[in-house]
Copies of this chain bind each other. A is one copy, B any other.
Amino acid sequence: MNECDSYKQYLNQHGMKSTKQRNLLLLILKKIQEPQTAEKLYLIAKETDSSINLSTVYRVLEKFTEKKITIRTSFLDDKSVYSLYPKTHQHQLICLRCKKIVLLENCPLEAFQHSVEKSTDFSIVNHRLELYGYCRQCQKIIAAN
């Protein structure tokens, strides 16, 4: 049993067959730890399994996302990126210059969400919060120009 089989039990528990493509992608996602496009993951996977197909990568990621093993996010005009589903609720602080991402564990929205539910009659299941700005270093670089 090679390392690509190591997620068999995990996958079966989630109601999925363990295939070499799925095991490999799971391995890659765990190793990388930052959001990547399907294409990038495909290229990395190809180094190990040269016969893997891009459609398969999309289908695997779709299934993973459906099972909440991964999360898919996309920004305006860009390709979607995929990463392991975060263990805890969190948000992102993104540097507009260098694209560095800082994860924020605190969420300030609980009370707000409840008050919006009350005032709108929506049932809110989810939210998206991202902060944009410039990191320390990029602030300096920008100031120097």
Binding site for B on A (CB under 8 A): 72-74, 76-77, 80, 93, 95-96, 102, 104, 106, 108-109, 111-113, 116-117, 120-136, 139
B130 and A128 form a contact (CB under 8 A): yes
The residue from B74, B108, B125 contacting A109, defined by CB atoms under 8 A apart: B108
How far is it, in angstroms, between the C-alpha of A111 and the C-alpha of B72 when the chains are bound?
28
Say how far A144's CB is from chain B's closest CB, in angstroms: 15
Contacts of A111 in B (CB 8 A): 108
Q: When the two chains form their complex, are residues A129 and B127 in contact, meaning their CB atoms are under 8 A apart? A: yes
Q: How far is the CA of A57 from the CA of B123 in the complex (A)?
A: 35
Q: A95 contacts which chain B residues (CB < 8 A)?
A: 122
**Structural contact, B131 and A116, CB atoms closer than 8 A:** yes
**Complex: chain B residue closest to A135, CB-CB:** B122
A121 — which chain B residues lie within 8 A by C-beta?
135-136
With the chains together, A84 CA to B92 CA distance in Å? 26
Please, which residues of chain B bring their CB within 8 A of the CB of A120? 93, 102, 135
